[in-house]
Amino acid sequence: MSSPKIIFLATAPFAVPSLKLLAKSDYCPLAVVTRPDRPSGRGKKFLSPPVKKTAAELGLEVLQPKGKEELYWVVEQAHPDIIINVAYGMILPARILEHPVLGCVNVHPSLLPNYRGAAPVRRAIMAGEQVTGVSVMYMAEEMDAGDIILQEQVLIAEEETYGMLHDRLAQVGAELLQQALNLLQQGIAPRIPQEEEKATYAPPLAPEDEILDWSQTAEAIYNQVRGMEPSPGVYTWFSGKRLKLRKVIPVHKPGQKQGDKSPLCSETGQHVPGTVCWIEKDNFLVAAGQGYLKITELQPEGKKRISAGDFLRGYNLQVGDTLG
């Protein structure tokens, strides 16, 4: 059985493990299609998508159509048997989806129909989920709504950040994609309809997702910080400047040294959210709407990440100060 002709559509880092695995298999793509280079940062320097660099290193042809019309032309010229989409960043029109004889396949980092959309990994962590996964599906015109070919469940570790989970899911997705391609090649790939009534959505990040709200529970803030690491991070305010919290630990009730009568660390925990209520050598506690956050790593505005101990030695933080 001859290998199918494949075009690989991808842009984001999530797609890199899939591309590397395909490149050394019977499913090596004819070409890698990625989004155009875009200006970034203050200097507006043009940066290439991560997939472009990987494809070049693998010796694969790279194409960067500027829109749906150019993409359709690429597909029409190549006549692929399969189109693979892994974080390409564009909803494909019907005339592209209907072109390949074996279909268009998408790899999505959630257990669909849960967390359809742009930010499934972050939103799952921020919601405090303990389980997520990867779905390989046939593409449909509606976002992430196609029939499922394969799914694999993945447990979310208690302290896992977005960056950690993203990388694990990317590897799982690469292996699951290859299994799905084997089924397609043999003509035995299933089509499992999604339960539309159970669909949930994972909208892209918004500026407010970066702002820490101390009235939330310590657990909710902890999940928010994990979901925004390593970038862009979550910030509060201290002395009129942004202060990113890079590593925190939720605490239900702080310890209290014998004889310490500080009202800011009372047994009832009645503190104004955002109040610094306990300082030790290498960490400090801040009251949340419910519970406390032990701060162990921070990033002052315009500075590098530092430990809470270094922050306490360099900044005049006192019990009773308020963040936010």
Secondary structure element (H or E) that encloses residue 13, with its range: none
CA distance 263 to 280: 17
Query: What average pLDDT does the segment 90-106 reach?
Result: 95
Residue 85 has pLDDT above 50, yes or no: yes
**CATH of 207-314 given 3.40.50.300, 3.30.200.20, 3.10.25.10, 1.10.3720.10:** 3.10.25.10
Q: Which pLDDT tens digit goes with each residue over 99-124? A: 999 999 999 999 999 999 999 999 99
CB distance 160 to 121 below 8 Å:
no
- Please, which residues have CB within 8 angstroms of residue 79's CB and are 6 or more apart in sequence? 5, 99
pLDDT of residue 252: 80
Q: Which pLDDT tens digit goes with each residue over 295-319? A: 999 999 999 999 999 999 999 999 9
Cα separation values, 5 from 17, 24, 88, 139, 259, Å: 20, 15, 19, 18, 75
Q: Is 295 helix (H, G, I), strand (E, B) or coil?
A: strand
CA distance 285 to 254: 8
Pick from 160, 246, 239: which is nearest to 210 by CA?
246
Confidence of residue 257 (pLDDT cuts 50, 70, 90): very low
Q: Tell me the fold of 6-198.
A: Rossmann fold (3.40.50)
pLDDT of residue 255: 57
CB distance 90 to 159 below 8 Å:
no
Q: Where are the domains of the chain?
A: 6-198, 207-314
Residue 268 has pLDDT above 60, yes or no: no
If you compute the radius of gyration of the chain from its CA atoms, what whole number of angstroms results?
24
pLDDT of residue 254: 63
Residue 156 CA neighbour count, 13 Å, CB half: 29
Q: Which pLDDT tens digit goes with each residue over 27-80? A: 999 999 999 998 877 767 888 999 999 999 999 999 999 999 999 999 999 999
**Cβ neighbour number for residue 170 with a 10 Å cutoff:** 22
CA distance 296 to 299: 11
- Topology agreement, domain 6-198 and domain 207-314: no
* Secondary structure (DSSP) of 218-244: HHHHHHHHHHTTTTT-EEEEETTEEEE
Phi-psi map region of 94: left, alpha, beta (phi>0 left; psi -120 to 50 alpha): alpha
Q: Is 110 exposed, middle or buried (0-12, 13-18, 19+ CB in 10 A)?
A: buried
Residue 279 has pLDDT above 50, yes or no: yes
CB distance 254 to 285 below 8 Å:
yes
